[in-house]
Structure 1
Amino acid sequence: MAVVLLCSISGAPGTTTTALGLSLQWPRPVVLADCDRDAPQAITGGYLGGQGDGRGLTTLMQAARLHSSIRGGLLEHTQRLDLDGRRLFLPGFRHPSASAIFSSWAQVAEEFSDLHHRGMDVLVDAGRVGPAGLPTELVRRADQVLVVTRSTLRCLVALSAHLPTLLDQVESLSAACEVGLAVVGPGRPYSNAEVSAQFGVPVALSVDWAPDHAAVLSDAADPPRRFDTSAYLTSLVKAAHGLQRRLGTRLAHRDPVAPLAVHPLTTHGSTR
C-alpha cells in the first residue's frame, strides 16, 4: 500500500496529466483522487470528455455530514478509469468554494490509508501547494510527496521560492513521507542532476516532453501515430513501475499486502 501526493508550485507544470498518466500505467490496482482545492475538474472535462455521474469529493463530503463518518465508503464515490476497474477515479470538488467548507480531510486521508486492505494504492492530485501548504492530514498520511515541475528557469525560480514552505510543513508534522521532484521535460534546459543538486531534493521520476502525446491525457486528443510505443508513454511506464517498486520496498515492513501482478494498460483501456 502506498499513498502518493502530487502537487505543484508554479502554474500548469503538468501535475494532473502526470498523475493520470502514472495511474493508467500503475502496476497495482490504484485510486486516482482529485483533491485540488481550486476545483478545476481537469480530468472529468479533459480525459473523460465530460462524462461523470456526479460522484466524487462533493458527494463524499455530503455523506460525511449526513452520517458523521465515511468509514469504508470511499470507493462508492469513485468511477472507473478502465474497463477492468483496477484503476478508479475520485472526481474533485465541483465548486471552488466547496473546499473552504470541507472539514473531512482527516476522514478522507484515513480512507486512503485503509485501502491497502483492498490491495490498492492511491495517487492524489493535490493541485498547487499554496501559501499555507497542503491539507495537513493528506501530508500526514502520505508515503511520498512529489512536487511536479518543468526544468525551465521560470519554473525553477518559483520552486526555489515556495518549496521551503512544503519542506517545513513536512518537517513540522514529523510526517513519514519522502519529498521528491517529478520533472516534466528534463533537459529543457536543466538536467535532473542539476535540478536535484540545486534544491537538495531527489528527482524521484521524470516524464518526457511531448505536448502532442500529453494532450491525449489532458484533453482526450486523438493519439499520434505509434503512441503506444512512444518515448512519452514509455517514460510514464518506467516512472510508474519504478516509483511503485521503490515504495513497495520501503514500506514492506509495515504493509502486509503483497504487490499484485497487474499488466500496465495503455490509455485505450479507459472508459472515455
Structure 2
Amino acid sequence: MITIISGKGAPGSTTTLAALAVGWPAPVLLADCDPAGGDLAPGWLGQWVVDGTIRTDRGVLSHATATRHATAGDPATLIEHVQPVPSARHVGLLAGLTAPGQQAAVGAAGWTRLTSALAAFRTTAGQPADALVDLGRMSAATPWSLLLAADVVLVAVRPTQRHVLAARPLLAELAERIVPARLGLAVCATTPAGTREVRAALGREVAVEVPADVRAAAVFSDGTDAGAVPSRSPLLRGVRRAARRLHGTYHHYTPAELRIPALPASARLLTGGVR
C-alpha cells in the first residue's frame, strides 16, 4: 500500500497517483480516500462519469455503508465497490467522496475497515493487488489509519519555495509517527535540477519524480483528450520507471514472470488481468 498526501496548495498528488497507477506493472487498486472529496473520477475519468460507465456513488462511501455493522475490514467485501478503469485495464478504481460532508458518514471506524480491506485486497481471480491511496491535503479529517498502515507514504511537493515550505511541517508531523524508511517524496512537475533542490531542502529521498509535462498532466488532472492515456510522454516514462522500482521493492519475480502476456480487450483488473 502506497499513500500520497500533500500540504498546502495543489502540488499534483492526484495527477501523480493516477499516472503511477497507469504505469504500475501489475494489477493495482487506485483508491480515492481524500476526506474532503476526491478528484480522480471527476478529473481524469470525467468522461466515463458523464456517460455512466463509472459511478461516483460506488466506492469509499458505499463500502462504509455496506460494512457499517462489521467489526473488521473483510477484503472480500471491497471488490463489489471497485470499478474498472476503461483506459487502463489493469487498474481498478475505488471512487472517492463527492462532498466533504460525506466524511461524517464514513467515520473513523469506516476508514479503519477500509484500511484493513485495502491492505489485503485481491482481485476476483484471487490475485493480490497493490493499493495506491490518495489522501489529498493533510487536515484534521485525514484518516491516520491509512497513513500508518502504508508501506510507503509519499509527500507531494513541487520544486517551488511555496510548496517546499508547505511540505516541511507536514513531514515533521508525519515523522513523529512514521519511521523514516517509509517516508519519501513525490516531486511533481519537476526537472532533474528541481528534484535535487527539493531533496536538499527537505532532507528526504525522492521516491517518485514526475517530469514537467503540461499536456500529459492535464489528461490525469482534468480528463483532456477524453482521458486517453498518452502512449508517449516524458511524464509517463518517468512515472513508469518509478512504478516499476516501487513495485520491485516489495515483489520479487524471475525474468520469465516479468513478461506480461498480451490480453484480450475484455481483460480487467476485476478478473486479475494486467496491462
TM-score of the aligned structures, taking structure 1 as reference length? 0.81
Give the aligned partner of residue 98 of structure 1: 102
Distance 1:10 1:83, change over 3 A: closer
How much does 1:77 deviate? 0.2
Distance 1:58 1:177, change over 3 A: farther
Kept in 1, the 8 Å contact 2:208–2:239? The answer is no
SS in 1 for 2:190: coil
Aligned equivalents of 2:262, 2:230: Cα separation in 1: 15
Matched, 1:74 2:78: yes
SS in 2 for 1:145: strand
Q: Name structure 2 gaps, 5 residues minimum.
A: 269-275
Kept in 2, the 8 Å contact 1:8–1:147? The answer is yes
The structure 2 residue matched to 1:164, chosen from 161, 164, 172, is: 172
Give the aligned partner of residue 119 of structure 1: 128
Kept in 2, the 8 Å contact 1:58–1:94? The answer is no
Aligned equivalents of 2:7, 2:88: Cα separation in 1: 34
Matched, 1:29 2:27: yes
Task: Report Cα offsets for 1:42-83 as digits up to 9, x if no partner.
Answer: 121122222433211111111122555551211110100147
User: Sequence identity, in percent?
Assistant: 31
Q: Which amino acid aligns with 1:222?
A: D
SS in 1 for 2:58: coil
The structure 2 residue matched to 1:149, chosen from 140, 157, 164, is: 157
The structure 1 residue matched to 2:195, chosen from 192, 195, 205, is: 192
Q: Which amino acid aligns with 1:43?
A: L
Q: Which amino acid aligns with 2:167?
A: L
Aligned equivalents of 1:151, 1:263: Cα separation in 2: 38
Give the aligned partner of residue 255 of structure 1: none
Kept in 1, the 8 Å contact 2:164–2:202? The answer is no
Aligned equivalents of 1:83, 1:222: Cα separation in 2: 12
Kept in 1, the 8 Å contact 2:20–2:239? The answer is yes
Distance 1:230 1:201, change over 3 A: same
Matched, 1:45 2:53: no
Q: Name structure 1 gaps, 5 residues minimum.
A: 253-258
Task: Report Cα offsets for 1:76-106 as digits up to 9, x if no partner.
Answer: 1010014785210000112212213422222
Aligned equivalents of 2:261, 2:184: Cα separation in 1: 26
Matched, 1:220 2:223: yes
The structure 1 residue matched to 2:185, chosen from 181, 184, 192, is: 181
Matches within 5 A, 1:189-268: 191-222=194-225, 227-248=230-251, 261-262=259-260
Give the aligned partner of residue 115 of structure 2: 109
How much does 1:163 deviate? 1.9
Would you say how many aligned residue pairs link Structure 1 and Structure 2?
Answer: 250
Kept in 2, the 8 Å contact 1:15–1:125? The answer is yes
Kept in 2, the 8 Å contact 1:133–1:166? The answer is no
Aligned equivalents of 1:164, 1:110: Cα separation in 2: 26
Task: Report Cα offsets for 1:233-257 as digits up to 9, x if no partner.
Answer: 21121121122112336xx9xxxxx
- Taking only aligned residues, the RMSD between alpha carbons, in angstroms, comes to 3.0
Kept in 1, the 8 Å contact 2:72–2:116? The answer is no
Task: Report Cα offsets for 1:141-161 as digits up to 9, x if no partner.
Answer: 110001111001111111123
Aligned equivalents of 1:263, 1:204: Cα separation in 2: 28
Kept in 2, the 8 Å contact 1:30–1:120? The answer is yes
Task: Report Cα offsets for 1:196-220 as digits up to 9, x if no partner.
Answer: 2222210111011112221112112
Aligned equivalents of 1:79, 1:32: Cα separation in 2: 10
Aligned equivalents of 1:233, 1:262: Cα separation in 2: 19
Aligned equivalents of 1:264, 1:180: Cα separation in 2: 34
